[in-house]
Structure 1
């Protein structure tokens, strides 16, 4: 079936017309996933994986209380830092507008209105005590210089900011300062928190972006504040493809992705999907499920208790997840639609591949001009298509769609 190559131009009428077709296309996925018995049932349900000590573990049985959970309003402060060796060329208000309200709107859509990120940008520059070049700012930052930068930034901001009021701290450097490296933007977690205004500052987002910044970069970094892992693969040479694990399908893989909506697993982890919105398969057999598109607004699905994701438990720390992705909401620019299948491993740390998309169309690609990784841009299954994971034996088949837009999916666990 031809697939559109232009973002935002998905041929839905043709997709719907295939509702009765069964083309028996089978994609066999080779994987290192080993099926095994599920662990004891947690309060989150039999398909919840155990949270491990691995950094940003994908476990969903409990919440890591060291991180704020985004299920309410959280307040963020934006501190704009200038340096003695550079005069800022833009006003703080211009930089704030690079990120807000877009970042807040992204999370409001992704959470079905369950989370609101309120930003409080400072109106003036805060002058750092040392030149921008003295800190050696870069992606793999010398820990000593990085610590000096953070201490100086918090100390310089302290007279102007009541840190007790904020859940999230953004330290935004003057983008035109000569020592600022746009590749160094990241979240920093302190082994020993800094103290300011009688409160612990445990983590900050250090922003070194150009003006205008990378698309969705602040939403990606804010995801780390909420204990979400990096889903990209960092090649050893630093030059090969970074997006081989998930491609465009979640902004924690790439902030440039055409389909940046957080995967259903992350919505479950963050508290945006409830247990009754998740279909759970924890025993062998064949099951049929009806799925609302993940990015559909709460007026269709979430508020009505519709299912957004199916989880097939395959081991003590492994599962396969299934969800429907369409060109709407945060995914409005995706150039393919269908049922996305991926594996989750809760005992794999951030950056090590805790989530991997299973390619429903191996050997082909899509959206070469816009996708961050075209081989996975056409990963979703269409009506009549089937995918089987060779190692676990889990099979997923898309049976059709109905007039309400729900997708009918059949899963088989041996």
Structure 2
């Protein structure tokens, strides 16, 4: 329960606006001064020197927090150490099992009791908030490192332990209340992460970024079986080796500007780690607030940190700006989706093989593939197809095809066709899409039966379909047949009524069309039998009488 409780606590505090009128740090922050304090416990003594912890955070070399954000921002952000803290690790008066015990009614209180005690001890050892304020105009930022490990990676009883998080706290020093933002990380992390890696995640919250993992397990998901929309390609997603930073968050932080793609073409995409022009493409899906985001992930720069990303190639995000990006939309299971998620052609649970590349064998994402590029909003007016057409290299060549949504509608004389000439049993069904020229299909001269047609965008988005009906079947008055038409993500099934006008007009069924037949049929012009709607205007009237009169005197049997 504590894990869930803490997680809910985190959700409440990591999102803007923060309590105490604190807002996430502005994009123009260039040098963030980070105070580091470290808590040591009698039953969980530290294993690393304090200087080593600081190296993980501030080193100019190696895979440090500072270098991660420096490279992600192309050098515009630096994370440096705040006031020097003499003595390093601070021994807490109570054991860690007291502060981190699994008790949802007391954990929050005991955790903040530890933080309050730690900050007070740090002040005694030289931490000077007033000196800090001289070089930093923002609210104090404190990194709290606790010795031992976090929940799930220690010898605590089940579920005991600290959970890395970011929040806000305050402490009274010499009669003055000092409010500060803090992130809590553990000296030892899981086998899939390091302290600097977890710190980078929590530091992202300080910068105003929200989690990209699913902390809402409602909807169709069972408890403990949450979906993960973004995982091992983003520092703000679930814990995993590698991670890096997505173009989505780089753009939000102002580290790069996206290129908006509005028409079909071939694009050379440099690695996202370069922050170069064209390294992050946005393809809006017309008619919706959704778009596809494209980036080339290559194991270099911060994408090589902490073991590196698991695969290379084109990473495709489906993003819905109508949904708050920190949430999953839950208005019904059929509409359940995330604001941000990765297309995952490899179908691995942690997205290890989510990259499209020639090398992986996954090269195409389209409305017909799984996963599909179609938006969740069905009001879209255009569709997008993506194809990787080059191998991994300095840049990735991608073909983007944007076409109007197939919007098939049918023109076929009110869904029926009439044949009055025994020697011409073909009839026409016109099917076409808006904005396209029709394509004529050959007439089937032998038999009219069930037909299935796949009208893809490359074969033309319209068709004039000519079908025939065998003469030996003309003895039937009205023949109903089914035609199925499948289009881009659409399937239509409709009924065709093939009606021989002779049988329709021969009211007394004597084999001859006579004036008496027409008199019986059209004596009342409000006739509701739509089989007599010979001109297909939806009304039985004078027009149909004129058509029928052409057949008077014909003997067909």
- Give the ranges of 4+ consecutive aligned residues of structure 1 lying more than 6 Å apart after TM superposition: 176-180, 236-239
Aligned match for 2:32, one of 74, 80, 86: 74
Aligned residue pairs total 332
Residue 55 of structure 1 deviates from its aligned partner by: 6.4
**TM-score where L is the length of structure 1:** 0.67
| Unaligned stretches of 5+ residues in structure 1 | 1-52, 58-63, 366-372
Aligned match for 1:357, one of 333, 342, 364: 342
Aligned match for 2:110, one of 145, 152, 156: 145
Q: For structure 1, which segment, 199-208 or 321-330, has the greater mean C-alpha deviation from structure 2 after superposition? A: 199-208
Matches within 5 A, 1:8-407: 56=15, 66-69=23-26, 71-83=29-41, 88-101=46-59, 102-120=64-82, 122=85, 123-137=87-101, 142-159=107-124, 160-164=126-130, 165=132, 167-175=140-148, 183-190=162-169, 193-194=170-171, 200-210=178-188, 214-215=193-194, 216-234=197-215, 240=224, 244-258=228-242, 260-273=243-256, 277-281=257-261, 286=264, 288-296=266-274, 301=276, 305-312=277-284, 318-332=290-304, 333-346=308-321, 347-348=323-324, 350=326, 352=328, 353-359=338-344, 361=345, 364-365=347-348, 373-374=349-350, 376-382=351-357, 384-388=363-367, 389-390=373-374, 391-392=376-377, 394-401=383-390, 405-407=395-397
Q: 1:72 to 1:245 in 2, by over 3 A?
A: same
Residue 107 of structure 1 deviates from its aligned partner by: 1.5
Q: d(CA) in 1 for partners of 2:88 and 2:294?
A: 47
Q: d(CA) in 2 for partners of 1:329 and 1:135?
A: 38
Q: Which has the larger radius of gyration?
A: 2
Q: For structure 1, which segment, 260-269 or 129-138, has the greater mean C-alpha deviation from structure 2 after superposition? A: 129-138
| Unaligned stretches of 5+ residues in structure 2 | 1-11, 329-337, 368-372, 405-557
Residue 242 of structure 1 deviates from its aligned partner by: 5.7
Q: 1:134 to 1:307 in 2, by over 3 A?
A: closer
- Greater RCO between the two (CA within 8 Å, min separation 6)? 1
Q: 1:324 to 1:349 in 2, by over 3 A?
A: closer
RMSD: 3.8
Residue 87 of structure 1 deviates from its aligned partner by: 5.1
Higher helix share: 2
Q: d(CA) in 2 for partners of 1:377 and 1:85?
A: 38
Q: 1:354 to 1:133 in 2, by over 3 A?
A: same
Residue 169 of structure 1 deviates from its aligned partner by: 0.8
SS of residue paired to 2:112: helix
Q: 1:382 to 1:146 in 2, by over 3 A?
A: same
**TM-score where L is the length of structure 2:** 0.51
